[in-house]
Amino acid sequence: MSKEMIIYAGSINRDHVHMLTGIPPQLSVSRAVQYLKGKSSHKLLSEYRQLRKRYWGQHLWARGYWVASSGNVTDEVWKEYIKNQQPPDPEDDFDVV
């Protein structure tokens, strides 16, 4: 099965991620989320030693997710919404590079 997903927009906060994603019609939303979480977790933990130490024996991502289809709203509206999801100034050294 092809997993050719497209991420059109994204915003990263301390405790959640906003993404506007296109998935192929034969791929269920739950499988797409499972795939995205699995691949991103593997890549992040393999590239960042401090994450590997912090999450040793644990899961990087929480079990849940929230999804909405963009059928009633244009992709441009969703992109603008995601662009405006800027995190508040952090109290520590949290930084997305």
| Catalytic center residues | 81
For the chain, what is the radius of gyration of the CA atoms? 15
Listed residue (13, 15, 7, 56) closest to 33, CA to CA: 7
User: If we measure between CA atoms, which residue out of 10, 27, 19 comes closest to residue 67?
Assistant: 19
